[in-house]
Chain A
Amino acid sequence: MCAEKVRKFDAVIVGSGISGVLIAKVLGKAGKKVLILEAGEKLPPDINSYMNRFLLATAKVPESPYPPELFTKGELTDPGTVKAGRPTVLSLGPKSKDGKKSFGDWTDPTQSYFIQKGPLAFGSTYERLNGGTSRHWLGTSLRFVPNDFEMKSKFHPKESGFVDWPVKYHHLERWYADAEKEIGVSADADEQNYLGIKFSSPYPMPKIPLSRVDMAVDKAMAAVKVPVPGLDKIAWKVSSTPAARNSQPYQDRRVCAGNTNCIPICPIQAKYDPSVTMAEALRTGNVEVWYDSVASQVAVDGDGKVTGIDFLRHNRERGHVTGKIYILAGNAIETPRLLLMSKNNGRTRDGVANSGKHKFVGKYLMDHPLYLAWALMPEGQPVWGYRGPLSTAGIEVARDGGFRRNHGAFRVEIGNEGWNFPIGDPDTTTIDFVNGLNFSQLNPEKKALFGPDLVAALNTNLTRQFRLGFLVEQSPDATNTVTLSDQYKDGLGLPRPQINYNLSNYTKQGLAAAEKTATAIFNSMGANEFTSAPADDDPSSFAWPGSKFGRLKYFGAGHIVGTHRMGDDPSNSATNSMQRSWDHDNLYLVGSGAFPTVATANPTLTLAALCLRTADYLVKKVLK
């Protein structure tokens, strides 16, 4: 047992991601003693070690800059050997067949951290290190639209799946404003006041300018006609995306230099990451972080009071720490995993914060399944991708409307990185034209070029590429779950997360509408669409007769949501609107796992707003 067990804190926080550090900073500034338990390694003195790892990575995936190592001796690292494991997008490959091991087999526990039970693959990943997943986030900081908080009453009054949030837009508005200042968001409030969004104060920095790709999409908007009921009357429009990315010097950080690398790592930290808030929290003198400390149980006494957190060091040394309150700020998979692991010698047989009839912990797992479409502008009309932040604008007008009675809404993210996301370009196209291949579909004659011909072919193709990503609203379904594997463990002997995941008809219809919208936009632009058909054995795809390929593919958006939903009553939720467990009044479950519905925008700003609201409550009402 560690010597630290004798220490007592006002608050013990599990996880140093954005949720944890925002609360730690507020409590620390109020003079409260805070301990953060972080499963991952200590923060290096600067980001160079992460940057160097990225530069040398052959697979520059979102996880590539960060430990643990993705590869061991040329193979994906066996997650059973990793102390603080995490998923990777490389483990979403097809199932092995004919006795031959498939790289990244999504069902292979020696390649996939998640034990994926399907029927479809859950495609989102996260980090477990200082700063959490907001190390590799894009920085998109949109507010939700008011109707996102009222899906049941506005669109689905008779259905059990959709619920209203216990807070509405107007409850969160001032916390949104605080979060925007805290993480440093660049945007123009006059441009963002669509679909009922109102602002009480301006953004702290001016907006990020549009890219040439954004301008080309915007130019075509007026002529877009989408043949989907409910979307056919929309006045399509491009707007600059609010981003936690500096358009001016802010928080002693530099202005964005357009490195086109927000995911996985901004080399100059012009994009906010939680190490910024962590540094401020530590400067209060009231906040400590213990790294290499993997929480393994939330200890609860016979009266339902949380009495401490058990944890394991990577060397398997055990520890226990106590506080007045406990805040679980992992993510929407690791937090339910910890709760479900916490059996307390049978006193909490179904896990902590999981009593009652409905048992919400680990249920209603959601994401924004992302439909990806890509195209090439006509000859002589370059848009010059691979320049600027990864995304600077989007289309937000399809985030709300009566069609939400029938199918998922979506926002459209306009990419500035050519076909990097769709096909791994510029590498794939370059290899095609040097080596006489046609993986990109841009070299149908399979020419192997060199010299000026190679330059010309690459220039004309790479400068005309662009892509659109449609982040589709997923319905809450109780059968999409995080549970514990009873067979597979991590390198510390803790059970790995088991995922059951599927898409409802509501969600699939949303993806189908996205496909049609993409084609309509490309047609309006005069662009030649190159979106390719998914393979039949792609676990992130499903048969859809209405699709042009008879099959639709989706990607994970990294927006892991819903597994400890908040509500206004224990019968419909795991926590109240302050993210306090209904079962344990000194336990808080924070982060996007608290979202009752996934809404229509990237979750980070909203989870930050909720955390600032909870932190204020803790200071004024709980730890006063």
Chain B
Amino acid sequence: MRLADPTELSKERETIMTDLTRRKMLTVTAASAATAVGSVNFTEPAVADDEADIGLFVKLSAALTGIDESKLAPSVDPIQIKREYYTKAKKHNPAFDGLMQIIRDDPTHAADAANKVMNNSDKDIQFLGRSIILAWYLGAWYERKNLETPPPTPPVPALEVVSKAAYTQAWTWRVAQAHPMGYSELRFGYWSNEPLPLDTFIKS
């Protein structure tokens, strides 16, 4: 015996998921990532002195990416992808210190700081800003040399996918109102319906 038309079922499920997603998306995302990916690669915890800087790094990252801080680094955050990117970026000194100093100087105006980073006369700082944006968006780390001197045809080579979790948490998919390929949190038939509004994905 057949079940009902799956299109009808999917509509019903989309309603359920809409509610679930709106209220619990962050928790579900985090929990699902931890189970689906298996062992999440936590980088070594930053030393205590870094904690404040990590907060500023997220604040600056939000301004650079256009995605809310609480989405990049939710208060309940078992994935801690921010630490992976912070650790990655920190290896690029002195540009990293220069970049962080900009947000330290005026943490209340992150958008201005982002503007200073992306239009900085120091190309190391400017390209580190691009690398940080691309890490959040694609989960991969791009070095300045590959961004500044791209090949004649795509792809621009990435140094590496930062981690399994980084791929599944990449924001470009959410900005497309979708999900990473290979990492759907939705249910059968959702693709027949319009996605949730963009703001649901990137704003608190």
Contacts and interface: CB of A to CB of B under 8 A. Distances in A.
- Asked whether A and B interact, the reply is yes
Given A209-B10, A450-B118, A450-B133, A462 B183 contact: no
Interface stretch (B50-58, B63-71, B91-99): B63-71
Contact of B67 (A211, A427, A455): A455
Interface in A197-238: 205-212, 215
Contacts of B64: 450-451
Interface string A459-486: 1001100000000000000000000000
Contacts of A48: 38
Contacts of A267: 36, 182-183
A386 B130 CA distance: 24
A257 interface: yes
Contact of A259 (B7, B111, B183): B183
A459 B177 contact: yes
Interface stretch (A396-404, A429-437, A545-553, A613-621): A429-437
Contacts of B26: none
Interface stretch (B79-87, B100-108, B192-200): B192-200
A57 B158 CA distance: 10
SS of A interface (majority): loop
A268 to B, nearest CB: 9
Contact of A55 (B111, B133, B138, B167): B167
A384 B182 contact: no
Q: For this complex, into which size category does the number of interface residues on chain A fall?
A: 35 or more
Contacts of B140: 58, 427
B30 interface: no
Interface string B109-148: 0010010001000000000011001100110101000010
A120 B200 CA distance: 48
A434 B135 CA distance: 11
A458 interface: yes
Given A56-B161, A209-B191, A434-B137, A426 B173 contact: yes
A55 B161 contact: yes
A209 B179 CA distance: 19
Nearest to B133: A434
Nearest to A245: B188
A56 B202 contact: no
Contacts of A439: 153-154, 156
Contact of B184 (A54, A257, A418, A462): A257
Contacts of A384: 176-178, 194-195
Contacts of B133: 434, 450, 454
A16 interface: no
B156 to A, nearest CB: 5
A448 interface: yes
Interface in A385-441: 385-389, 392, 416-418, 420, 423-424, 426-428, 430-431, 434-435, 437, 439
B150 interface: yes
A52 B191 contact: no
Interface of A: 48, 51-52, 54-58, 60, 205-212, 215, 247-248, 255-261, 265, 267, 384-389, 392, 416-418, 420, 423-424, 426-428, 430-431, 434-435, 437, 439, 448, 450-455, 458-459, 462-463, 535
Interface of B: 2-3, 5-7, 10, 36-38, 63-67, 111, 114, 118, 129-130, 133-134, 137-138, 140, 142, 147, 150, 153-158, 160-161, 163-164, 167-168, 172-173, 175-179, 181-184, 186-195, 198, 202
Q: Which 3 residue pairs across A and B have the least CB separation, nearest first?
A: A388-B191, A386-B178, A261-B182
